[in-house]
Amino acid sequence: MNAYATTQTTTLLIIGGGPGGYIAAIRAAQLGIATTLIEGEQLGGTCLNIGCIPSKALIHAAEEFEKTVHYSYGSPLGIGVQSPSINLAQTVRWKDSIVARLTGGVAALLKRNGVKVIHGWARIIDGKSVAVMLEGTETLRVNCEHLLLASGSQAVELPGMPFGGRVISSTEALSPARLPQRLVVVGGGYIGLELGIAYRKLGAEVAVVEAQERILPAYDDDLCKVVSASLHKLGISVHLSCAVLGMNAAGDAVRIRSSAGAESELAADQLLVAVGRRPRTSGFGLEDLMLDMHGRAVKIDDQCRTSMRNVWAIGDVTGEPMLAHRAMAQGEMVAEIISGKRRHFMPAAIPAVCFTDPELVVVGQTSAEAQAAGLDCITAMFPFAANGRAMTLEAHDGFVRVVARRDNHLIVGWQAVGKAVSELSAAFGQSIELGATLEDIAGTIHAHPTLGEAVQEAAMRALGHALHI
């Protein structure tokens, strides 16, 4: 007797409705491929619901509030504010409204393009069929020709300190019922720092604990120094080369141990654990496929094929870099390959952005990475202190840096730290993807006054003729 209520058939079946999954579904449907997408929670995945978008909304609200507090002490701009306050519940409702509009938009796009969306929890039967638990005990079976894994990632817990109570993940941090007086952030990477800075600007006392020797250990030290100076200015205490041992007996402080062995306590009303994310590969039968793995991540080739024929994987489930825009590009490519197009995922560079204060962006190779790859490169930096637009924004900290080959001046990398530098990432990526040289960027007229002029000036400085420094 068939244990399934009904059985459906589709050409492409996608597990996960995050950025990679829903983009793959939309593009596949545009190309005439019968497509079904399974999502157990909300469409949009981590990015739209509990990651990229809500965190940027909270960061923006915190920045605006911090401005009013700053103006309450007087300002060289002549702005004065008395007794600034923030209604945190209203802030969260505003953030949630943005999320709702975007996830609603995703649902509308999927429907408009003819994608069948099933809201339920998937369990893989084999490479050609998936069981879906719907409401109650009803189970649907979906058979497919192609199976695409886009299950994303999940926050890593600390051993012996599961999420719950005072110990929270970024998910809970993005919807605070109240502001903690004292927040300890475990993890000095981009997630921990983005949220730690936001909470500090909202008025909490914040301490950051990082196991390695500096914050943002995955990024260039020169960039991180600018962010470190900002943390100090904001009054965020940073404890480097420290391990977290757990909460104290009273449950009101975090015990830490330095690399020298000294133990101490940090008072905490809440403990935000942001030590990274891991691929979501368990709990839905993926292990039964016995795919080749790369650590905890699903191993893929440059077409996002797994070791099983017609089983594909994209995004965070395939490991680093865990970036929504990488997943989206991979999803689009897989849809086109299934439709018969010839594609390979070989981007020249993938931008990485930290929305700290100030922002940080890296595209392509740093000088050290280029040298390790055997390239002889020119490196040049242009400071925002010499940029007119930065001065008018009261944001003269930071710089733009370019890395280019010495022999032919081909640009291989860009790095920047400063206010709103995330908006320069598109220009950085395009220059590398299109094979631009220093002469190409230096010879392109950049609008004045803009932060983008620092991009042109960095290229000009690499050529030996910067005009404003």
Per-residue pLDDT of the chain (469 residues; tens, 9 = 90+): 356 779 999 999 999 999 999 999 999 999 999 999 999 999 999 999 999 999 999 999 999 999 999 888 888 889 988 889 999 999 999 999 999 999 999 999 999 999 999 999 999 999 999 999 987 677 899 999 999 999 999 999 998 889 999 999 999 999 999 999 999 999 999 999 999 999 999 999 999 999 999 999 999 999 999 999 999 999 999 999 999 999 998 989 999 999 999 999 999 999 999 999 999 999 999 999 999 999 999 999 999 999 999 999 999 999 999 999 999 999 999 999 999 999 999 999 999 999 999 999 999 999 999 999 999 999 999 999 999 999 999 998 999 999 999 999 999 999 999 999 999 999 999 999 999 999 999 999 999 999 999 999 999 999 999 899 8
The verdict on residue 129 lying in a domain is yes
Q: Extract the tokens encoding 197.
A: 């800075």
Closest CA to 273 of 165, 160, 167: 167
Q: CATH number of the domain that 49 lies in? A: 3.50.50.60
Residue 73: the pLDDT is: 85
3-state secondary structure of 219: coil
The verdict on residue 399 lying in a domain is yes
Instruction: Please tell me whether residues 380 and 455 are part of one structural domain.
Output: yes
Distance CA(322)–CA(196), nearest Å, equals 20
Closest CA to 338 of 306, 308, 314, 303: 303
The verdict on residue 382 lying in a domain is yes
| The last residue of a domain, from among 338, 361, 389 | 338
The verdict on residue 208 lying in a domain is yes
Q: Which amino acid is at 113?
A: N
Q: What are the residue numbers of the active site?
A: 448
Q: Within the chain, what is the greatest distance between any pair of CA atoms?
A: 80
Instruction: Please tell me whether residues 131 and 175 are part of one structural domain.
Output: no
Q: For residues 202 and 236, is the Cβ–Cβ distance under 8 A?
A: no
The verdict on residue 67 lying in a domain is no
Q: How far is CA 360 from CA 183, 199, 293, 314, in A?
A: 23, 19, 32, 25
Instruction: Please tell me whether residues 331 and 381 are part of one structural domain.
Output: no
The verdict on residue 73 lying in a domain is no
Instruction: Please tell me whether residues 256 and 117 are part of one structural domain.
Output: no
The verdict on residue 133 lying in a domain is yes
| The last residue of a domain, from among 227, 253, 274 | 274
The verdict on residue 303 lying in a domain is yes
Distance CA(85)–CA(196), nearest Å, equals 19
Residue 4: the pLDDT is: 76
Distance CA(222)–CA(228), nearest Å, equals 10
Number of domains into which the chain is organized: 3
Instruction: Please tell me whether residues 173 and 308 are part of one structural domain.
Output: no
Residue 464: the pLDDT is: 95
Instruction: Please tell me whether residues 268 and 193 are part of one structural domain.
Output: yes
Residue 3: the pLDDT is: 67
Domain housing 259: 167-274
Instruction: Please tell me whether residues 269 and 173 are part of one structural domain.
Output: yes
Instruction: Please tell me whether residues 253 and 331 are part of one structural domain.
Output: no
Q: CATH number of the domain that 439 lies in? A: 3.30.390.30
Contacts of residue 47, Cβ cutoff 8 Å, sequence gap at least 6: 18, 19, 53, 324
Q: Which residues pair with 186 in a beta bridge?
A: 209, 273
DSSP conformational letter for 380: E
Instruction: Please tell me whether residues 129 and 96 are part of one structural domain.
Output: yes
| The last residue of a domain, from among 274, 290, 325 | 274
Instruction: Please tell me whether residues 258 and 314 are part of one structural domain.
Output: no
Instruction: Please tell me whether residues 331 and 438 are part of one structural domain.
Output: no
> Residue 351 burial (CB < 10 Å; 0-12/13-18/19+)?
buried
Residue 2: the pLDDT is: 52
CB atoms < 10 A from the CB of 286, how many? Answer: 23
Instruction: Please tell me whether residues 357 and 418 are part of one structural domain.
Output: yes
Model's pTM, two decimal places? 0.94
